Structure 1
Amino acid sequence: MNKVNEGEISTRRRGTELEAAIIQAAWDELMEVGFHSLTIEGVAARAQTSKPVIYRRWPNREELVLAAIVHHLPAVSEELPDTGNLRSDLLLLLNQLNDMLHQIGPKTIHGLMSVLSDIPFSEILNVRRTNAMTTLLNRAAERGEIHPEKITPRITRLPVDLVRHELLITSEPVSRETIEEIVDDIFLPLLM
């Protein structure tokens, strides 16, 4: 039993409080040292817990990093644009995604992809984002801007895949001009 100094209250974090502290520590480590230098030891020290406690919840650092990313980045669908115009909505959505991917960083994305090769990357980070694109396209179809029969799963994923590809290839944020080109020259013509 630990001896408690006068005035100190001994509390042991459990459950969601402990998990929140670990996820926050993982995010802070990721932002400070990057994916390749992030260790479970570093996260444990920052969260003031032990490695076994972390490993009971996340079997490896990659899943812990994914949990931290999903927790800290806002779901695009929570801030879904609705300007009344598909092009404007797409530009807003893709720029939000671009900002989020840039915040995660190309090195983290590359690192996760190299380790989690059995899971398509689009499924890893787009769990909460693919519904956003479907929602935008369905709204546009209801307004008569596009043909609903042209909305297929592959077409729906295309603009997000192209933005992600640009970031991974260049390791730089995707320019607004490139996003406009993806929307105007590639994506919208497929829906008309």
Structure 2
Amino acid sequence: MTERRRGPALEKALLDAAWAELAEHGYARFTMDAVVKRAGTSPPVLYRRWANRDELVRAAVAHTLRASRVALPDTGSLRGDVLALLRELNSGTRVRLVTVMNLRLADYHRETGTNPAELRDPLLTGRAEALDELFARAVARGEVRPERLTERLKSLPFDLLRHDILTTFAPVPDDALEEIVDTVFLPLVR
């Protein structure tokens, strides 16, 4: 007899099942019943936590983004830190995550009137605090001028990486990552 899941273990199983359904079938074919079946539970268990598929999708995306957070590099330089982070984000599993987030959820955005940035909310995933720490270290080392670190510039290398991934559906060549950092990003923040 299998042990009954409760609390965080049950919630994780439900959110993992929801993400798997989204990744495999997209939002258009995403149903609460399919999540229940995949998680091996009952509808009341799911509906006690999320009233509808919009709430469940948001929770599954936030859960998946939190679970896929990368460790913050500390190479001793802003260039090294940003390149290390881009390289980690450019791995095959993360490329799949970016692709699913943008392609499989297009119907979600169309139906709910939201946009991809709303689901990638860095406040939900802890990404904002991690990047703030990375940039604070660079300021403390005197590598960048703090007044140049607007939110747009801080996200620029990651936005360019995401753009390249979505135009090729593949990891970005390393020389392109170096070009993003050396030719585009660093000159703007120094």
Residue from 81, 98, 109 that aligns with 2:102? 109
Name the CA distance, whole Å, in 2 between partners of 1:30 and 1:180: 33
- Correspondence for 2:41: 49
Residue from 54, 65, 69 that aligns with 1:70? 65
- Residue 98 of structure 1: how far off its partner (Å): 2.5
1:22-171 equivalence runs, <5 A: 22-29=14-21, 33-35=24-26, 38-58=30-50, 59-60=52-53, 61-73=56-68, 75-76=69-70, 79-99=71-91, 101-116=94-109, 118-125=113-120, 127=122, 128-171=126-169
Name the CA distance, whole Å, in 1 between partners of 2:157 and 2:25: 27
Name the CA distance, whole Å, in 2 between partners of 1:71 and 1:149: 29
Cα RMSD of the aligned pairs, angstroms, is 2.7
- Correspondence for 1:3: none
* Higher mean C-alpha deviation, range 181-190 or range 153-162: 153-162
Q: Structure 1 length normalisation: TM-score? A: 0.77
Cα–Cα, structure 1 residues 108 and 152, in superposed 2: closer, same or farther, change >3 Å?
Answer: closer
Name the CA distance, whole Å, in 2 between partners of 1:133 and 1:114: 30
More contact order relative to length (CA 8 Å, sep ≥ 6) = 2
Cα–Cα, structure 1 residues 46 and 115, in superposed 2: closer, same or farther, change >3 Å?
Answer: closer
Secondary structure of 1:172's aligned partner: coil
After superposition, the C-alpha distances for 1:32-87 in whole angstroms (9 at most, x for unaligned) are: x35355543332112211234323323215225314413531x23xx111111111
Q: Structure 2 length normalisation: TM-score? A: 0.78
Q: Is the 8 A contact 1:122 1:161 kept in 2?
A: no
Secondary structure of 1:116's aligned partner: helix
- Correspondence for 1:184: 182
- Structure 1: which 5+ residue stretches go unaligned? 1-7
* Higher mean C-alpha deviation, range 79-88 or range 51-60: 51-60
User: Which is higher, the Rg of structure 1 or of structure 2?
Assistant: 1
- Structure 2: which 5+ residue stretches go unaligned? none
